Structure 1
């Protein structure tokens, strides 16, 4: 899958706040994503990010 900054992706598991949708803020070896419900920003290594993504919701 190809990912771009600004896309919204749905993860397989929910964040503790109850949302499963995240906006991509940075791509590369690590991904920085922001939760669309609570605004939490996390960084994930590429393999973990790609494994967590269920689908691309909006681009």
Structure 2
């Protein structure tokens, strides 16, 4: 899996959120990653290593910020 993520990427996680959605939008990057559930708009911050283990695929990648 590509370990390069950008703000605005839409990713699918392996586990469902309690609202039933698996799709998340990345809204902050760093040692911790902040993601927003696209089902209920809940915001969660998780460590990068837990995020990388829990991601299933990148649905839409936002490469506009690449230089």
TM-score (norm 1): 0.97
Return the offset for 1:15.
0.2
Match of 1:44 in 2: 46
SS at match of 2:56: strand
Task: For structure 2, list consecutive stretches of 5 or more residues without a partner in the other structure.
Answer: 62-67
State the Cα RMSD in Å: 0.5
In structure 1, the gaps of 5 or more residues are none
Q: Name the structure 2 match of 1:23.
A: 25
In 1, Cα distance between the equivalents of 2:43 and 2:27?
9
Query: Where in structure 1 do 4 or more consecutive aligned residues deviate above 2 Å?
Result: none
Give aligned pairs, total.
59
Find the structure with the greater CA-based Rg.
2
Q: Distance in 2 between matches of 1:49 and 1:5?
A: 14
